[in-house]
Structure formats: structure tokens, C-alpha cells
Amino acid sequence: MADGPETRLPRYRELSDHIARQIEEGALSPGSALPPERTLAERHGVSRVTVRKAMEQLSGRGLIEQRRGAGTFVARRVSQPLSVLTSFSEDVAARGMVAESRLVHSGVGRASPEEVIGLGVAPGHSVTRITRLRSADGQPLALEAATVLGEALPDPTLIGDSLYATLAEHGMRPVRAVQRLTAIAIDPYAANLLEVQPGAPALLITRIGYTAEDRAVEFTRSTFRGDRWDFVAELT
């Protein structure tokens, strides 16, 4: 049987796959700038429309990030070790990035049934709730909904960029935690804040943090972008 005609990928796919390989092989390092659109078009002998379509593909795969007025950069991923208890701010700072927080909601109330179980408190116990959008170098990475004991943080306006640093000031910083990781499809509300498409892959992290006295002080549910955050475990 005669061979059929050779199937060739569209030019934008060839270009996006080429750049993706450079990123995966380390030829383009995280945070490095990609050449301007015109330069890429001339270098690869394609139109600027083709370059734009390739960039859209790479952006959709979470490999690049386009910053208005600054250019296009290889996306940085943040890795959080599972064997050490650290805060978001500490993980981001350890990688030379600047952690930022935007308050979405805060308030004081009575523990819900889920919070009663998570924190091990009596129904009606006072708790403080803080929902924040967490970013690194201006890129949204996680939507964090934290509930802490009311006595640990009676006033939600006291919190700074780091919840753990604030709890430490009150002598109630968690020293260990139990975490559950669940793969989810992101809901429209979180997708809008995290600047991804609804249904995009994400990680839901449920954490219960305990003080040195083994008292549960923090019950946090965080939705992390699947294309920007890694969890790393060392097994022995």
C-alpha cells in the first residue's frame, strides 16, 4: 500500500512545541524574557499571527505569562515541600519572589459544623475568617480561605502578608499540620480571581495547623493554580 501524504502540524503548533521543549529542557529558564513577537516571526520564518497563536497555546499550557507593557516571560512555578511546615509567604520568598496578598473577605463569627470538626472546638466557638488572593511577583497563584481560633486572632485587620507571622506574634504559630491534597476542576468564582478558565485543573489543599501544645489553631482551604504550583515530597 502506498504511503499517504505526510501529515504536518500547523506552523503555530510547531513553534509552540519548539518553545515548550526549550523550556522543559532548561534552555529557557523560569522568569526569562522571550524575544519580541517580530523577532520570533523573523527568526522562524512565520507571520506574527502565527507567533500570537503559538503564544496563546503556551499561555494556555501555563508555560509562559504575558505581562502588559513588559513582554512575555517563561512562567515560574513555586514548589512547596510536603515534609516541612511553611507558609505561602515563606515558600515564595525562598525562591526569590515577592509574595503579595489581597484581602477578599474577612470577619468574625461562630464556627460552622465543618470548622467545629476541623478545629476541634465546641459549636458556637468564636472564629476569625480571612479569604485572601495570594500572588507571587504579581501573578495570582492561590485563593486561600483561612479560619483561625478567635482567641488567636480576634481582629482580622491585624493580619499582615503572612498569617503565620501574625499568629507567631500571638504565641500561636502552627508547628505541625495535617494536609489533604485533592485534584479539582476550578469553579467560576475562583477562576475569575486566579485569572484562569473555569474548569482548569487546580489543587484544593485542606490544612489543619497545630500549635506546640497540640491545639488546632488553623483550618485553611486553599485553591492553587495547577499550572503554577508544585508539591514535592521526599520519601525515605
Distance CA 14, CA 115 (A): 50
* Same-domain pairing of 41 and 104: no
Residue 15 shares a structural domain with residue 49: yes
Between 168 and 59, where is the model more confident?
168
CA max distance for the chain: 79
pLDDT tens digits along 130-146: 999 998 888 888 999 99
Residues 6+ apart with CB under 8 A from 48: 37, 38, 41
Are 46 and 125 members of one domain? Answer: no
| Domain harbouring 24, CATH code | 1.10.10.10
Q: Are residues 158 and 212 in the same domain?
A: yes
Q: In 10 A of CB 122, how many CB atoms?
A: 8
Of 42, 74, 106, the one marking the end of a domain is 74
Prediction pTM value: 0.63
Above 70 in pLDDT, residue 82? no
* Amino acid in the structure at residue 121: V
**Inside any domain, residue 4:** no
Q: In which band, very low, low, confident or very high, does the pLDDT at 2 lie, cut at 50, 70 and 90?
A: very low
Q: What is the identity of the amino acid at 27?
A: A
CA-to-CA dists, residue 17 to 10, 21, 129, 186, angstroms: 11, 6, 44, 26
The sign of the dihedral angle between the CA atoms of 168, 170, 171, 172 is negative
Using one digit for the tens of pLDDT, what is the confidence trace for 148-170? 999 999 888 888 778 888 898 88
Q: What is the pLDDT of residue 95?
A: 67
Residue with the larger pLDDT of the pair 84 and 210: 210
| 122 and 57 within one domain | no
Average pLDDT for residues 102-116, to the nearest whole number? 94
Q: Are residues 32 and 122 in the same domain?
A: no
Residue 1 lies in a domain: no
Of 74, 89, 117, which marks where a domain is finished? 74
Task: Let me know if residue 6 belongs to a domain.
Answer: no
* Domains in the chain, number: 2
57 pLDDT higher than 70: yes
By CB atoms closer than 10 A (0-12, 13-18, 19+), residue 99 is buried
Q: What is the overall mean pLDDT for the chain?
A: 84
Residue 6's CB: how many other CB atoms inside 10 A?
5
One domain, residues 17 and 129: no
* Same-domain status, 95 and 26: no
- The answer to whether residue 2 is domain-embedded is no
Looking at the domain assignment, is residue 176 inside a domain? yes
Residue 229: per-residue pLDDT:
61
Domain that holds residue 16: 11-74
Q: Which of 1-5, 93-97, 167-171 has the highest mean pLDDT?
A: 167-171
Q: Is residue 105 one of the residues assigned to a domain?
A: yes
